[in-house]
Amino acid sequence: MGSRYGGLKQMDPMGPSGETVLDYSVFDAIRAGFGKVVFIIREDFAAAFQATVGARFAGLIEVGYAFQKLDDLPEGFTIPEGRVKPWGTAHAVRAARNAVTGPFAVINADDFYGADAYLSIAQWFADSAATADAKDHYCMVGYPLRNTLSGHGGVNRGICQTDDGGLLTDVAEVIEIQRDADGVARGTALNGERVELSDAAPVSMNFWGFTTAFFKDLEDHFTAFLQEKGGELKSECYIPTVVDDFIRRGTADCRVLETSSSWFGVTYPDDKPHVVECIAALVDAGAYPSPLA
């Protein structure tokens, strides 16, 4: 449920024939060669989601569901009294641990990533299939910060740094990023510090490529997170923070993939007209049929 959007933006029509952003994401994934989609949703709107969004993909791709439940925690942990907020994006991915059996990509359901981004990550899977060494190898699609801001309020982004070989060296979650009156983008780091950001900084839009080894490492990280912050009523465990931890400990590396695709998404209701306009332009250019099927 999008608290800033005011409803289920994942099910809000954006395309010229009533398509959702998620419809385009699955369409692009199928074209790139993905064979299964797992929707991670809240159990209380499962029936509505399956009857609308999920049903549209019957016969096109294998469909699975996973439920992000507040009480789905490692053994020994319980929900603190008064906690109603889910545990974050890392906890959401963890919910799919029994539904995923091979290399997989992770996306936000309300973000439009573009066809080339799916092709890039699919090609990375193909190229890295024979790689086997002491480290786990992951990837993410990076977009310049300037292309991911909203003109209607602050957004959360994983700000990335890479080495000369394109490997991720650091990713820091920065929240409530927006342009100040001087035109400079600024946000708040998780330690509370206000930071200035470059427009060209590559950011994670939560388009990741993982192997199933990620789930074991995630379990260890999430357990440590709960030990430290599990008593806080609004603490969240973010995917970029988890990946950053793996990199720092030397257990995994993560390649930042470039893409010619443009990202756009809806954080606030006023973002919707821009998304509708961008999708219409892609349809007019012949990048997508209308309707999609």
CATH number at residue 68: 3.90.550.10
Does residue 68 sit in helix, strand or coil? Answer: coil
DSSP readout, 276-291? Answer: HHHHHHHHHTTSS-SS
For the chain, give the mean pLDDT: 89
Over residues 237-252, the mean pLDDT reads 91
**Residue 133 falls within a domain, yes or no?**
yes
**Residues sharing a CB contact under 8 Å with residue 249, sequence separation 6 or more, in sequence order:** none
Question: Is the predicted pLDDT of residue 6 greater than 50, yes or no?
Answer: no
Question: Is the predicted pLDDT of residue 110 greater than 90, yes or no?
Answer: no
List, in sequence order, the alpha helices (H) in 80-114: 89-94
Question: Is the predicted pLDDT of residue 76 greater than 50, yes or no?
Answer: yes
**Contacts for 50-55: CB closer than 8 Å, 24+ residues apart:** 52/11, 53/10, 53/11, 53/20, 53/22, 53/23
- Structural domain boundaries, residue 101: 9-284
Predicted pLDDT of residue 133 = 66
Say how far apart CA 217 and CA 201 lie, in whole Å: 27
**Residue 4 falls within a domain, yes or no?**
no
Write out the two tokens for 52: 């609308």
Predicted pLDDT of residue 252 = 92
pLDDT band at 21, cuts 50/70/90?
A: very high
**Residue 289 falls within a domain, yes or no?**
no
Predicted pLDDT of residue 8 = 60
From the list 223, 271, 245, the residue with the least C-alpha distance to 5 is 271
Q: Beta strands of the chain (E only): which ranges?
A: 36-41, 62-67, 104-106, 111-112, 136-144, 155-162, 168-179, 185-189, 194-197, 202-210, 252-257, 264-265
Q: How many CB atoms lie within 10 A of CB 150?
A: 19
pLDDT band at 9, cuts 50/70/90?
A: low
Q: Count of domains in the chain?
A: 1
**When comparing pLDDT for 292 and 283, which is higher?**
283
Question: Is the predicted pLDDT of residue 1 greater than 60, yes or no?
Answer: no
Considering the entire predicted model, what is its pTM?
Answer: 0.86
DSSP symbol at 95: T
Residue found under tokens 């070989």: 165
**Residue 232 falls within a domain, yes or no?**
yes
**Residue 245 falls within a domain, yes or no?**
yes
Does residue 272 sit in helix, strand or coil? Answer: helix
Question: Is the predicted pLDDT of residue 284 greater than 80, yes or no?
Answer: yes
Say how far apart CA 22 and CA 254 lie, in whole Å: 25
**When comparing pLDDT for 102 and 269, which is higher?**
102
Predicted pLDDT of residue 40 = 94
**Residue 290 falls within a domain, yes or no?**
no
